[in-house]
Structure 1
């Protein structure tokens, strides 16, 4: 039983009510009481407060039954916005989301520079632009969460290392807060952690033990244990690309030999194909065309790629016994029957897992996870579920016009 003073209990009840309204999209007071177990008086008091804060609104449902039409409660999704940012190598993606996790604006910019100070100023410029364009809403721009393709300290949220930029020990959060000309909640998080969170929030709601493996620039993993992101002691858990699978293998930039990402990350596959096909590079579109043509060299290299991918997955499965493994890879999306082929390589009688699936979010996973975490923090709910249910109010006409100056 939860005990505490009245203010604490009220906060718990508020969180439970908001969580339930978000999950169901539209719900009556009676259903709220039934699902949460709270009495009608508590529901009435809490709902009145949320209406006054402009966080929810009421609608009256049409129905053919005799009697009074039920009054439904929904989140007022356009009273505030959150900004998700994916800071990748040579590009930055920005997604502005309403309070139900629906994107209302998205843009991608390409970078000419790898200089930390220049990129900080660019981030500041865009954050301030989004803040200005959200000023019409009651709560404005509530928060921004930035996904980093590297290691992030969990206490101060400082960047420990971003391999492709070669940035060491950068206080991005502090630098942004110092330069942004208004008060804003800013959080920094590893991209794989955000991606795993997005997979749970948007698709795999009931999977409390979920692993999200990203095979793009290297191999990173987001780990959900008992419904929470597992970060490890410093915050650096999930760097599974540097698990050694071949002790006498190739030298990795990390200093070890035979790291997993040297054999089962997408760049390695493209390098191998370019070498065997005697081309300087292989583009993504060229790869897709070659797969569609069933080019024998591509199929040979893909079988090798899947073999090494499966070796790493076998190790991870034995370590974590996951319920759901989500593989985020455009290469795997393009290859036929790939999940069956991977499962065929996982033959150990010891290794146990629930399911292996391909990500439905793809490259948007990081940025959608960033938006979702910002929304969860704003509402202060213990768990966030964005359902695809038709009960959600359809997204209609509140897109944000973003100014360029």
Structure 2
């Protein structure tokens, strides 16, 4: 029994020490002891194990004073790599990051149909390719995380993906029984919120991320933890009804928020009004610059509909941080000021609201971060990437 307790405490200490090394990027043994309140002997033992594992490295810091140069500890970022996958409707994005979350490779694969077996074989072929490509690193691909645009149960099985019309699929096990790697399956909006927490808002304990692209997905953290609900379906606020007599939705109801406040709904509606199919973001940006009256009228309606849903969310959850993931809102300079002016709830409130810097890459960044956190087995992950660049190759 005592051996079991000792091993458990050693594991906790190891996770604590490693998480602090990652958070501070470079730190000395003495600083680690001071921050963690662990003895110098414990720190020395844990650091020795981490060095032997190949997870951290030692570096002599530049030092102008007399005496020994301090030895700094940092994560060995190229010891292994994480694979994040955004499994969307018409395409799949694959991004490989190092252990510090820096993207090192990205591919974009167009989908021809929604056939589950065909997409499963595509995923297997791609993942095997990355395993081979990064096999020379110490740990290779340390984990694969997949963001699904649908409902994912707490056991990581897929309940329903509306746009693919998938029901009750066990993608995790279907992949793991063929591939020699651990696979995580998560709702894409949850991964987006995890990315914002890990990379941008380290101190925010109550954060909501709202993805507004093909539909509306919401991931939220309360007291720093993802909230998933009883079955894992929490966050499907894109299907809260804002117009009871409104448009029919794939979910079976009428007037759902995402039918009025998602980017696809805006673009489809604008294309119809302008009689211009396949409008791009660049097309819309040019029309905004020209102050095209039809576009400006549609943007005004869009922002009002976005604000209706945000007011409801604020009243329900009272968030500290709201992050809107939308390329469309970035094209309209006045968007945020107009949204803020519409958030007039007096009962509840929020602290800050932003447009995400990650854009459509939020899901894969969160997926990579989740694989890293689980591989390192640490309680909390904080990463800093100065500028995220993706080198997308269309396959």
Give the TM-score normalised by structure 2.
Answer: 0.95
Tell whether the 8 Å contact from 1:153 to 1:159 is kept in structure 2 after alignment.
yes
CA distance in 1, matches of 2:109, 2:270: 29
Q: How much does 1:279 deviate? A: 2.8
Q: Which of 314, 329, 333 is the matching residue for 2:330?
A: 333
Query: 1:47 matched to which residue of 2?
Result: 47
Which residue matches 1:87? 87
d(CA) in 1 for partners of 2:18, 2:102: 17
Aligned-partner Cα distance in 2 for 1:222–1:170: 21
- Residues 102 and 385, structure 2, Cα contact 8 Å, conserved in 1: no
> What is the aligned residue count?
389
Residues 1:233 and 2:230 are matched in the alignment: yes
Alignment of 1:3-402 (within 5 A): 5-155=5-155, 157-180=156-179, 183-388=180-385
| Distance of 2:125 and 2:184 partners within structure 1 | 17
Cα distance in structure 2, aligned partners of 1:82 and 1:348: 41
1:80–1:140 Cα contact (<8 Å) kept: yes
Secondary structure, counterpart of 2:230 in structure 1: coil
Runs of 4+ with deviation above 4 angstroms: none
Whole-angstrom CA distance in 1 between matches of 2:105 and 2:345: 46
| Paired residues of 2:28 and 2:70 also in contact (CA < 8 A) | yes
Give TM-score scaled by structure 1 length.
0.93
Offset, 1:281? 4.2
d(CA) in 2 for partners of 1:41, 1:348: 54
Spell out, residue by residue over 1:80-135, the C-alpha distance to the aligned partner (whole angstroms, 9 max, x if none).
11111111112111111111111111111111222110110010001111111222
Aligned-pair distance for 1:247? 1.2
- Give ranges in structure 2 of 5+ residues lacking alignment: none
Instruction: Select between 227-236 and 272-281 the one with higher mean Cα deviation.
Output: 272-281
Distance 1:347 1:242 in 2: 22
Query: Distance between the aligned counterparts of 1:347 and 1:153, measured in 2?
Result: 35
The answer to whether the 8 Å contact 1:314/1:351 transfers is no
- Equivalents in 1 of 2:224, 2:181: separation in Å? 27
Equivalent residues of 2:101, 2:385 under 8 A apart? no
The 3-state SS of whatever aligns with 1:179 is: coil
> Residues 132-155 of structure 1, C-alpha deviation per residue, up to 9 Å, x if partnerless?
122212211111011101111112
Q: Which runs of 5+ in 1 are unaligned?
A: none
- 1:220-249 deviations in whole A, cap 9, x for unaligned? 100111101111111111111100111122
- The alignment's C-alpha RMSD in Å is 1.9
